Structure 1
Amino acid sequence: MHLHFIESGPALLVEQDRRVLVVADLHMGIESGLERHGVHIASRSAVRIARVVACIEEMKPDLLLLLGDVKHNVPVTSRQEYRELPGTLATLRERVPLAVVPGNHDGGIGRFLEPGELLPPGGAVIDGVGYLHGHTRPDPELFGRLIILGHHHPVVSLVDAVGCAARARPAYLYSGLDAGCEVETPPGGNRTRLLFIPAFNEFAGGIDVGRLSESGLGPLSRCIERETAEVFLADGTYVGSPATLSPAGGG
């Protein structure tokens, strides 16, 4: 298996039997959600999808996997989403086959998808790799392999010797399962590994990797091995472990 970090996404290409382009947390329609809180931003959906298309054209995947939270607004679907999602998804599927693992923001997403594109909310195994949005407990079939998940929006703030922090940057967090984590016994005793991937949406915000295990955002966030986990920037640069990168005042 080969993993290719795509900095311009951020996105991930998983190359095994097929080339699977993984995009997490698009949050299409986020602008209308921000507007309800008094933040007025013109829709950037066209620019956002152009970035996805650029990733497709660069990596030439066999499958585009949207790893949950394709849409933003809950519990309803906004007018912006009704207006933009059909064309957005058509733009993507005309270039590459499409699959969606639904996230906690994706209520009603099925109405915008074609038969066979919507995968189970408990995740799916594709070419031996598990894929999960991250807000639900995984299907038992996902244990004992690499599980790639979104939902947590990991970011990292790099601090210099005098304590000045750079702007939070999208990050990947790779970890085994903590020994104290109560999960199903993997078939054949194979080791389960977790790869938390960053949000594609530029307005989605994030959780610092040093606090991810305490966030309680999903069942697997508590399973991170803080001391041995590895953190990578969007371009694949290794920067340390959550324990060494914890922000000041963090756990």
Structure 2
Amino acid sequence: MLQTRLIQSKPALILEGKKKNLIVTDLHLGFENTLKSNEIFIGKNSSVNETIEELSEIIDSENPDSVILLGDIKSSIKTISKNEWDEVPLFFKEIRKKCDLILIPGNHDANIQKLVPENITMISTTGMVEENVLLTHGHTMPSENFSHIDKIIMGHIHPVFFQQDSIMNGQRV
């Protein structure tokens, strides 16, 4: 049976059975563009570099077999922004160096297949099942009857931006 464990003070979860999976969701890489269009500047590529660094530290300390991304890797919904063309592949490349990556796309991930390298497993938006656990972003209905499911782990929440000297500190992005 799979066990779940929150990683204290980190935006991640461990799902462990035969394999150890690190679950992460709603990174919204490239959200700086939205802020910039509203004349709020937090620095180019600051979130992707911080995200790579923080996730790398978690991977190094937890040593998972894979990272399962529960969607909303990028920020824009219907398009791929200029920043996302650079940041999302960089994120995948750097994290893939450390362990396997599995992606369940979210509602912000339109056309993300154009940014995903071949060495990353991409699952349907309806999610995936690991033993008795459904993993999904949460914006679509699962495609099967999941009467055997005991737990659902999902994303579809929006992160809060933290930077003490910013007017955006504590705001959802």
Q: Normalising by structure 2, what TM-score?
A: 0.84
Q: Which residue of 1 aligns with 2:156?
A: 151
1:60 partner letter = N
Structure 1: segments with no counterpart, 5+ residues: 154-198, 207-251
Counterpart check, 1:75 vs 2:42:
no
Within the candidate set 37, 47, 52, 1:49 is matched to: 52
Q: Give the superposition deviation at 1:200.
A: 8.1
SS of corresponding position for 2:88: helix
Residue in structure 1 matched with residue 140 of structure 2 by the alignment: 136
Instruction: Determine if the alignment matches structure 1 residue 119 to structure 2 residue 101.
Output: no
> Is the contact made by 1:29 and 1:72 (CA closer than 8 Å) also made in structure 2?
yes
Give how far 1:10 is off: 1.0
| 1:205 partner amino acid | R
Gaps of 5+ in 2: 163-169
Determine helix, strand or coil for the equivalent of 2:121. Answer: coil
| Residue matched to 1:98 | 101
Contact kept in structure 2, 1:70 and 1:105, CA below 8 Å? yes
Output one character per residue of 1:170-225: Cα deviation in whole Å (capped at 9) or x when no partner: xxxxxxxxxxxxxxxxxxxxxxxxxxxxx48757728xxxxxxxxxxxxxxxxxxx
AA aligned to 1:152 is: I
Residues in 1 aligned to 2:61 and 2:36: alpha-carbon distance in whole angstroms: 34
Distance 2:9 2:76 in 1: 25
- Cα deviation, residue 84, structure 1: 1.4
- Which aligned segments of 4 or more residues in structure 1 are displaced greater than 6 angstroms? none
Q: SS of the residue aligned with 1:64?
A: strand
> Mapping of 1:1-251 within 5 angstroms?
1-42=2-43, 43-115=46-118, 117-145=121-149, 146-153=151-158, 199=159, 205=172
Q: What CA RMSD, in Å, does the superposition of the two structures yield over aligned residues?
A: 2.1
3-state SS of the aligned residue for 1:21? strand
Cα distance change of structure 1 residues 105 and 118 upon mapping to structure 2, 3 Å threshold: same
Superposed CA offset, 1:212-247 (max 9, x none):
xxxxxxxxxxxxxxxxxxxxxxxxxxxxxxxxxxxx
| 8 Å contact from structure 2 (residues 89, 117) kept in 1 | no
* SS, match of residue 84 in structure 1: helix
Given that 1:22 and 1:66 are in contact with CA atoms closer than 8 Å, whether structure 2 keeps it comes out as: yes
SS of aligned partner of 1:53: helix
How many Å separate the matches in 2 of 1:200 and 1:21?
20
Q: Distance in 2 between matches of 1:142 and 1:72?
A: 30
The 3 A distance-change label for structure 1 pair 200 and 139 is: farther
Sort the Cα spacing of 1:57 and 1:126 in 2 relative to 1 into closer, same or farther, 3 A: same
Larger Rg: 1
Q: Which moved more, 1:89-98 or 1:119-128?
A: 119-128
- Distance in 2 separating the partners of 1:130 and 1:201: 28
Please state how far the C-alpha of 1:47 moved relative to its aligned partner: 1.1
How far apart, CA to CA, are the structure 2 residues paired with 1:143 and 1:63?
26
